[in-house]
Chain A
């Protein structure tokens, strides 16, 4: 398709993007738009460095490729470069969403009807504490084509549909932001969740009326599956991304394969080819997506790679090189990451806590050695029972200690298909999952 420059490695990634959205706030349509764009990321590698370019001029890609090649130094041995040797070559077309379920086929009237249905069912003007609400949807479809000088030719697609119902619940002058959202892979699956929205709304109403500020300190914490999902992503997932330790002896020694890094009840996996929010068929270097067990029974068994990190650390590719859009270079990223269910009864996990905190949900977090979790609704546990709701700003822990402090892993399991992950100024879709777990000690503020 393209005339790739001689004695250099090069690849071209073209992304055709479609997005539409609509929002109705307090009865007024405040947002309603559609956007389509196509762009390409072009890379040339000469064995020393990358020369890259972003363009929206698809007809001009060949010229751009030729121009980048003039900046690079030809290298007759480029195919012997360890990183280039690692790069896989596939010719494949995996279009899972371009048929009748493609969101591009959903009309504006259908989106409007969907929102109206949720407003009708979930907005109750009789609830005086709710003085603001917004229902919105957002959907995107992306088709990616990837071609490399080694012969790769891959076309794949992905899409997501989001519906979210949000409330402002004001009690005693304090407004609690409440929401329930759904992220699905097609439009039809956004329908029929009204009862879940109402249940969550009522939970937030109770929270707004009764939540008390937590007394800062160290607590035993039980995480609901929703919270474990983010905990898994932040506390351990980011440490499994190998690009942070390429030439760092301290970190390589710390994260050596076969080392016990957590309680034996913990096993964690990243799997890109699951039909979930972090789905990819191939990564953005053309590597087929697979399953990587990062931790098994508390022992470090794997990490996530792009071609550079895999070749530098002499490990195998895992299909985790992902870009946050056509304007971005790929980085090592998670896909669908989850802690596997364990042996413990979830109800018993709570019942065994004399004094602690139940973390029902976590909104976001960060993933350095001291990881952070920004929780939503939490409850105090006393004598094994859930008591009053708590307002908590942030939960922190140290990854090197906390994974050993997990002393119960539940038999239940839930995958959260709503997340996106930020790194290096880029954002990619991910899903995270896990069971109910208990951590002996975390710092709560």
Chain B
């Protein structure tokens, strides 16, 4: 039985350094995985660059003898194609757009220097096998990231902002730049109650490890023995979700070729932990529900761990969730994280104060601290139904204020 993954990627990018155009870059790549399955084993040939099917499968078959990998699972079937592309810019349009955005920054914010990357990436993944499976997924977006430094700052960089759009709109860029920079020079005090307003991808990494089915089974997760228990906030519901527009460049099938119903799966419902995430191997080995979360590997067999988390949004806006309180936007916040016991501490080197709609001023640097169970438990306020500041979903969490840095 033969199987083939193929990824085609095209990227154009424009980079500015210290306010000046530095480079225009083009990249085009093809990556393939040729796989030959026999008697519960698979031989794999990983290829970067074009290679004909005949030679690719010949090498995979050769590897079935040299480096056989155990994969005693049925191959999947199914046909489906999804293309998320909304609009593609030409290289000239990308360069002109970048120039216009940079000019806006330079005209309006002359007391800052900027490093900026504008890229357009288009990726197509396709997976076919002899059982008739034929899945493909295409996505394309313009991705912007801007690092800024105030002219008086003695730091290397003061912060950054960025976003991705499938149909790029300069107005979104202008608004985000204004949000971050217009009141940057106005110094304000930290509120007594610290509510962090942030994109949540980084915070959910720890939860991914705790929800790994193997970690749960081996009793090395903080959630081991807590399946079925309510350990988080009533307002906290967590999905793996590749169904909607908030999913970037993710395919709808996992590394075992499995598709979940509606392209999503519920893991925590109203604070109750329902199940861990698993691939076929872990589901069978530990006799736990199979959730379709195998990661792709072009050069090896899949492993448990592919998740695209989405916290269920509240019906309220961010401002309504704040209910008259202020929140803190951590513009530059790194170096800390979660400890083994779930405790969390993070320096916030640059922070801005917001009312949930607009930025009010710059805060002094400080350290925030919390705990995994508090963050998504008693201190979880919610994820608003709107996307202010970040042009993306964002979480509101109460944290403790530690040392002023």
Residues of A within 8 A of B (CB): 21, 26, 29-39, 48-57, 71, 108, 131-132, 168, 170, 173-177, 213, 216-218, 238-239, 243-244, 246-248, 250-251, 254, 327, 329, 365-374, 391, 393-394, 396, 398, 400, 443, 445
Smallest Cβ distance from A385 to chain B, in angstroms? 25
Q: Contact partner of A250 among B154, B218, B219, CB < 8 A?
A: B154
Chain B interface (Cβ within 8 Å of chain A)? Answer: 17-18, 21-30, 44, 46, 48-50, 66-67, 69-70, 113, 149, 151-157, 215, 218-222, 224, 297, 299-301, 303, 332, 334-337, 339-341, 343-347, 349, 365, 367, 369, 402-403, 405
Known: A50-B23, A244-B156. A213 touches B343 (CB 8 A): yes
CB distance from B232 to the nearest CB of A (A): 17
A37: nearest residue on chain B (CB-CB)? B48
Closest 10 CB pairs of A and B: A372-B335, A393-B345, A56-B49, A37-B48, A50-B23, A33-B300, A394-B336, A369-B155, A445-B345, A175-B220
B-side contacts of A251, CB under 8 Å: 154, 156
Q: How far is the CB of B53 from chain A (nearest CB, A)?
A: 18
Residues of B contacting A443 with CB < 8 Å? 367, 403, 405
List 9 other contacts, CB 8 Å, given A33-B46, A35-B46, A393-B344: A37-B49, A56-B30, A131-B220, A168-B220, A239-B156, A247-B18, A443-B367, A443-B403, A445-B367
Are the C-beta atoms of A35 and B299 separated by less than 8 Å?
yes
Q: Which residue of B lies closest to A366 (CB)?
A: B335
Contact between chains at B27 and A370 (CB < 8 Å): no
| 12 A-B residue pairs with CB within 8 Å | A36-B46, A52-B25, A56-B29, A71-B24, A131-B218, A131-B220, A175-B219, A213-B343, A248-B113, A254-B154, A369-B154, A394-B367
With A34-B67, A50-B23, A131-B220 given, is the CB distance from A216 to B151 under 8 Å? no
Q: Which residues of the partner chain B approach A48 to less than 8 Å between Cβ atoms?
A: 21
Q: B50 — which chain A residues lie within 8 A by C-beta?
A: 57
Alpha-carbon gap, A122 to B41, bound state (A): 30
Across the interface, B337 reaches (CB within 8 A) one of A38, A132, A373, A393, namely: A393
CA distance A107 to B22 in the complex (A): 45
- Known contacts A370-B349, A445-B369: A132-B156 contact under CB 8 Å: no
Contacts of B24 in A (CB 8 A): 49-52, 71
Task: Give the distance to chain B from A223, nearest Cβ to Cβ, in Å.
Answer: 16
Bound Cα distance A55, B50 (Å): 11
A131→B369 CA distance, assembly (Å): 29
The answer for the CA separation of A192 and B32 in the assembled complex, in Å, is: 38
A250 touches B151 (CB 8 A): yes
